[in-house]
Structure 1
Amino acid sequence: MNDLVSIIIPTYNTEKFIGATLQSVQDQTYQNWEIILVDDASTDDTVKIIQDFAANDRRIKLSVLPKNSGNGYARNVALEKATGKYIAYLDADDLWFPTKLEKQIQFLKTNNLPFTFSFYDCIDEDGNSLHRRVEAPLKLTYKQLFFCNYVGNLTAIYDADYFGKVVITATQKRQDWRLWLTIVKQIKETKPVPEPLAFYRIRKDSISSSKVKLIKHNFQVYRDFHGYNLIFSTVLMIRFLFTQLVIKPRYIKTI
């Protein structure tokens, strides 16, 4: 029997996108999954849309926070409720290809890996292709990940029987990068599925759309998460920026 996959989705005011996101999971060729949604006190119709889906699919499980507590907190609450062997992450505005879970679970088992991810394509707010594909090294080491987050949150899956449920402090920015660093540090290296399996939606108000915010949050990973002093963190950040400007562009393809 196929192992259960727990899909973690925090939501906040995503009424425009959440229906398509949930539909992309329902369309999976791999059907043994549960979706754990935790809504962070949305003020739009996000909760109603999820409830409509959940009414017709018992695999969709929703909890609503009494007050807005942040995406990281909502994600951790969802993780606590997960019961699957595999933990997968999906943001409330992104989409999966129909064969995403099937191909990744098979890839994990074939390559004897407890953690993997994949390439992904980029779309705009309206779902139009941006003709950009984000790839990654075919063997991703901890050192490479240390200087660049090659793992798209919407593509990552890890084996909870191997790692346990990996919890990162909810108040920290770049929670996803800190999570992958924690995981890959244990196994030294991993491999991505070498093809796109998801659509990443680039929104005007997202952190990734603001270069200044992104640099600030990445710097705090070296300062707070790794615990390096100001001078060494600055040196590491210079190396990080070199990777972003010189090395990472090799993995961003025009399609």
Structure 2
Amino acid sequence: MNEPMVSVIMPVYNGEKYICQAVESVFSQNVSLELLVIDDYSADGTAAVLAPWCDREDFRYFRNEKNLGAAGSRNYGVKMARGKYIAFLDADDWWADGKLRAQLDALSGTGDVLCSTGRDLMSPDGTPVGRYIPVKERLTYRELLKHNSINCSSVLLLREVALEFPMEHDDSHEDYITWLKILRKYGHATGINKPYLKYRLSEGGKSRNKAKSARMTYQVYRYVGYGPIKSACFFMSYALHGIWKYR
């Protein structure tokens, strides 16, 4: 196939229950793309439910020989990608139609290297919970330090930038660390304040254990180079935003 404009990276671990909806939402986008599913050594029927797409030239399936975690799986997908842009989508989330086209147009207009969107929160069974998480149309590094308004499954960014800043520290919020590093260098990110992402509140996600998530968020600031006092101040702002977001 010709080189696609967008490479969609979808890490999955035991995702047979939800991944078909995620895949269908990718192939309903009206842009040139490829989908790379990185199976992180699943023990369920994930590979079997993906069989209907296996003969497509724009579908690529990789299975890790051992469990690498989300960060390692995404990084491997970025290395294997052929597109100019990278989009991340977790296997239990899905996109609304037109998401990638809107983001490509937005980045073309701003000249930024990264774009995120707003998101509707969904229950584990996929029904709306009636809560929308907005995103600002322009986001700075200083603003991102106060709270992470960039959800990984909403992101579109240049592949060269994804290669420059691979995701690290799976014991923390690895995506948040990456967004901070990118904005510290490039200054701004673009936001589209529309619910293009349907974000499933899975029971096993990192953010569902609030105490663990709090420790991981504090560790984010330490990993990007801040001392204990500044890290604590940034964490307090993050915590207040979190209370408002999920109230």
TM-score for both structures, normalised by structure 1: 0.89
* 8 Å Cα contact 2:9/2:77 also seen in 1: yes
Alpha-carbon offset, residue 123 of structure 1: 1.0
* Residues 74-122 of structure 1: CA deviation (Å, up to 9, x unaligned): 1111111011100111001110111111111111112222211111111
The alpha-carbon deviation at position 162 of structure 1 amounts to: 5.8
Q: Which runs of 5+ in 1 are unaligned?
A: none
Distance 1:244 1:43 in 2: 33
Partner of 2:29: 28
What is residue 234 of structure 1 aligned with on the other side? 232
Cα shift readout 1:29-60 (whole Å, capped 9, x = no counterpart): 22x101111111101010122233222x2111
The alpha-carbon distance between structure 1 residues 197 and 20, as it changes in their structure 2 partners (threshold 3 A), is same
1:244–1:24: structure 2 CA closer, same or farther, 3 Å change rule?
same
In the TM superposition, residue 216 of structure 1 has moved relative to its aligned partner by 1.0
What is the letter of the counterpart of residue 88 of structure 1? A
**Relative to structure 1, is the Cα distance of residues 111 and 226 closer, same or farther in structure 2, using a 3 angstrom cutoff?**
closer
- Distance between the aligned counterparts of 1:177 and 1:144, measured in 2? 13
C-alpha separation in 1, matches of 2:63 and 2:3: 29
* In structure 2, C-alpha distance between the alignment counterparts of 1:162 and 1:65, rounded to whole Å: 24
Distance 1:128 1:214 in 2: 24
Q: What corresponds to 1:82 in structure 2? A: 81
Aligned match of 1:11: 12
**Residues 2 and 29 of structure 1: CA distance in aligned 2, closer, same or farther (over 3 Å):** farther
- In structure 2, the CA distance between the partners of 1:15 and 1:24, relative to structure 1 (3 Å rule), is same
Following the alignment from structure 2 to structure 1, what is the Cα–Cα distance between the partners of residues 49 and 112?
Answer: 36
- Deviation of the 1:170 alpha carbon: 5.0
Q: Is 1:219–2:208 an aligned residue pair? A: no
Find the aligned partners of 2:137 and 2:54 in 1 and give their Cα distance.
37
Q: Deviation digits for residues 185-244 of structure 1, max 9, x if unmatched? A: 122122201211120011111112221111011011112x12333344323322332343
The runs of 5 or more residues in structure 2 that have no matched partner are none
CA distance in 2, matches of 1:102, 1:233: 37
SS at match of 1:132: strand
Task: State how far apart, in whole Å, the 2-side matches of 1:165 and 1:36 are.
Answer: 19
* Superposition CA RMSD, Å: 2.1
For the residue of structure 2 that corresponds to 1:58, the secondary structure is coil
- Asked whether the 8 Å contact 1:72–1:172 carries over to 2, the reply is no
